[in-house]
Structures are given as structure tokens and as C-alpha cells.
Structure 1
Amino acid sequence: MGQLDGKAAIVTGSSRGIGAEVAKLLAGAGAAVVVNYRQKAPRANKVVAGIEAAGGRAVAVGADLTSPEGPAALVDAAREAFGGVDILVLNASGGMETGLGEDYALKLNRDAQVNMLTAAAEAMKPGSRVVFVTSHQAHFINTVPTMPEYEPVARSKRAGEDALRAMVPALEEKGISLVVVSGDMIEGTVTATLLDRANPGAIEARREEAGRLYSVEEFAAEVARMVMADVPTGHTEYIGGQDYLSA
């Protein structure tokens, strides 16, 4: 029996990277998982196939969280396939991409997070858990400067975190807890690659400052752990980047 047997989870942005690993870990603990993708269906289907091959349950659902219908599509899929939503991992983020508009970072990292949680909360029962995934570069942006290339994204993610935290009292009334997981730069993510492209040597410099950076698999394990952790609502779990914590 897994710790999450009988639970249903939505993991946003889970066709690759951290989200995909989190989806696999939750499925391994017994949860049925909605694997979300925006455009790359084959990648999401591969994640689902891997979960099913290991004896788990999952469905791939295409949904753009910045669209009006995106969040509802994920919740509807969870209800239809698994009977509801017990776990929501808000992993999808972005803003380093080009060609998506100047306000895309804020639309995805703040507005879409709020809309996704609002939609999911309608289907969540008492005892449900929401995990918001962010970075130290965003979480500490008001006190610790970050790279100029990343600052707009960092500020939009901090705005998203603040907006979600403002929802905590209403969530508490429904018995839903919110936990934030903040990590240092993660080796091998799309964001790290784009940052290093915009600012060559940025990842190596951060690795030297921090001592080491977590891998995608290591960080995903921490996110999955906080889905099941006995911590109070509003808790922030810090992963790596001890220099941020001391500052």
C-alpha cells in the first residue's frame, strides 16, 4: 500500500523535467496522476506510459494554463478519470521564452497559478494539499538581487507566490493546505539552459557560489516529499542555496 493510494493528483507542466519526475514519484506512491502538457503530447504520453508500465495510473491532458479554459480542463479530466483532486502541484512556470508577449511571465507565473488553484479547489476535499514550486531567485527577489536576465521572471513568480498565499485563509476554511517549495537553480532544467544562453557562465558561477546545485531528480524528490509531509499550511521548504538562507 502506497502513502497516496486512493488519491488523485494534478501536476502542471509535467511532460518533462521536474514535473515529469514529480508525477512519476507520486504515481509510485499510489496516486493517480493527471500529466499536463501545453504542446508536446508525445512527451506527456511517454511519461504516462512509464507510469503505467510501473503499475500506476495516469492520463495526459493538454492544457494551456494561461487560457481561460486551461485550468478547468485539467480539473475536469481529474474528475472524470479519477473522481476528483486531492493533490495539486503547481510546477509549470516560464517567462524566459521569446515570442509569447511581454506580459507572458506574469500571465503564467501569477495569473495562471491563481486560476489553476481556484479551479482545483472546487474539486478538492478536506485534507487536500497544494504545492507551489518556486526558486530562491524568485522567493528572495525583494531582498537578494538576481541576474538581470531573470529578474522579470523572478518578480512574476514572487507575485504568484504572494497571490497564492493570499488565498490561504479561504483554503483553510475548506481544509486545504498550501506548501511552497523554494529551490536554488536546478541542473538540467530549461530555465537554467536559457539563463546560461543569455548569460554564459551563469550556471557555473552559481554552482561555485552555492557549492553544488540539485539535479532535476533530486529536486523532484523534495517536491514529492512535501506533498506528503506533515507541515502546516503556509510552510516554505528550502532546498539548497544556503547562502540565500543566511542572507
Structure 2
Amino acid sequence: MGKLNGKRALVTGGSRGIGAAIARRLAAEGADVAITYQRSAEAAEKVAAEIRATGRKAVAIAADSADSRSGEAAVAATVAKLGGLDILVNNAGIFETGKIEELSLADIERNLAVNVTAVVLASRAAILHFGPGSRIINIGSCLASQVPAPGMAIYAMTKSALVGLTKGLARDLGATGTTVNVVHPGPTDTDMNPAAGDHAEGQRQRIALGHYGTADDIAASVAFLASEDGRHITGAELAVDGGVNA
């Protein structure tokens, strides 16, 4: 018996990397899972097919992450296809660098739309379908609390915003038994930030454990928070960063 049997989950940005690992782990624990994707329809359907092969329901939903209202539509589609929603993992995001004086207003607005507004609207939509003991898990970043290099101010700001949202929603929803937490990955070996990449060594030197994390490390922490084992944890920041910010 999985710890999430009978639960319905939505993982935004679930076609690859951390999002795909989270979707697979939630399904392995017994949840039916919807994932969103923007461009990688084939990759998203592959993840969904892998989940269905285990006996769980899975659906891939197209969502333009630049459209901040896409999360609302994804919630509606999840409820229609899975019959409800118990767990929302706000994973979709973009990482764009550049000094603030070099970024256009359109650049700044895009970062806010994808990394903040879409999360707010998806959460608002999900809450309307939640029953007691539901979960919102936001995927933040180790850069929310420490910024080790120039050019990341806007990204760090968007991830810091998720901390305030998490704590506020935890207060708002506490009476229902719904928990709201944020997981902060550190350097994680994915196609976006490979452990053998050009900029990996500098990041590795900052990690107390001396090596990159994996997407499965993040997924395990999300699955824990989503389960009954995490029922008394809310409004918390969980750093899964190998001690990069220790």
C-alpha cells in the first residue's frame, strides 16, 4: 500500500527533470498524477505512459508557462480527468539571468508571470477543489536566501516571493488541515544544470556534501511532505541542497 493511495496530484512542469521525477515518485506512492508541459509533448506523454504502466492514472496537459493563468486551466483539466485534486506541486518555472539594468520590462514581467503569478493562480484554483488534509508544495530555490553571483536578482526575487506565499497560505489553510510548504533545491543534476556542465565545478565547491543532488532527492522530499508523515509540517522551507547554504 502506497502512502498516497487514492490521492490525485498535479505537478506543473512535469515533462522532464525535477518535475518528471516528482510525478513518478508520487505515482509510485499510489497517486494518480497530471503533469503540465509547454513544448515537450512527446516527453510529457512518455512520463504519463510510464506512470500508467504502473497501474496509476496519468494525463499530460499542455500549458503555456508564460500565460500566468495556465495553472488555473491545468487545475480544471486535472479535476475533470482525475475526478478531483488533493496535491498541487508548483514546479514549473524559468531561470533567466541578467543584471537588472540589462533586462527589459518584458523580461521582468515574464519571470514574475511564470515563477510567481502562475503559482498564485494555480494555488487559488486548487484550493476550491481541496478537501481536508490536502497539500500545496512549491518548488523554490537555494537562491531564495543566498545569491552567490551577479545577474540573478530577478530570479532570486521570484523564488523569495514563494516563501512569503507559502507562509501566508499555511496560515490561511491551517484550519482545513491543508499544509503548504516550499522545497528549495540546490545544484541538481538535470539537463538544465548538469553535474558535468561548464559551470558545475564552482557550484560543487559550495556544496557541503561535495556533490550535486539528483531529481529523485527532490522528489523524495516532496513525496514525504505530500504524505501523512508530513501532516504536521506547514509553512516550512525545506532545503534539499546538500548544505550549499549551510
TM-score for both structures, normalised by structure 2: 0.86
Separation in structure 1 between the aligned mates of residue 27 and residue 223 of structure 2, nearest angstrom: 10
CA contact (8 A) 2:147 2:156 kept: no
What aligned pairs does 1:58-77 form with structure 2 within 5 A after superposition? Answer: 58-67=58-67, 69-77=69-77
Identity of aligned residues (%): 32
Change (3 A) 1:29 1:90: same
Shift of 1:16: 0.6
What amino acid is aligned across from residue 205 of structure 2 in structure 1?
E
What aligned pairs does 1:1-247 form with structure 2 within 5 A after superposition? Answer: 1-67=1-67, 69-96=69-96, 101-138=107-144, 140=145, 144-190=146-192, 192=193, 200-201=198-199, 203-210=200-207, 211-228=210-227, 229-230=229-230, 231-245=232-246
Separation in structure 1 between the aligned mates of residue 95 and residue 241 of structure 2, nearest angstrom: 23
CA offsets, 1:132-171, max 9 Å, x none?
Answer: 1111112x1xxx3322133321111112332332222222
CA contact (8 A) 1:133 1:223 kept: no
What amino acid is aligned across from residue 169 of structure 1 in structure 2?
R
Separation in structure 2 between the aligned mates of residue 107 and residue 161 of structure 1, nearest angstrom: 16
Separation in structure 2 between the aligned mates of residue 134 and residue 216 of structure 1, nearest angstrom: 14
Structure 1, gaps ≥5 residues long: none
Change (3 A) 1:239 1:174: same
Separation in structure 1 between the aligned mates of residue 65 and residue 88 of structure 2, nearest angstrom: 14
CA contact (8 A) 2:78 2:84 kept: yes
Separation in structure 2 between the aligned mates of residue 209 and residue 168 of structure 1, nearest angstrom: 31
What amino acid is aligned across from residue 64 of structure 2 in structure 1?
D
Separation in structure 1 between the aligned mates of residue 151 and residue 68 of structure 2, nearest angstrom: 29
Is 93-102 or 176-185 further displaced after alignment?
A: 93-102
Change (3 A) 1:129 1:79: same
CA contact (8 A) 1:110 1:161 kept: no
RMSD: 2.2
Shift of 1:68: 5.4
Runs of 4 or more off by more than 4 Å in structure 1? Answer: 97-100
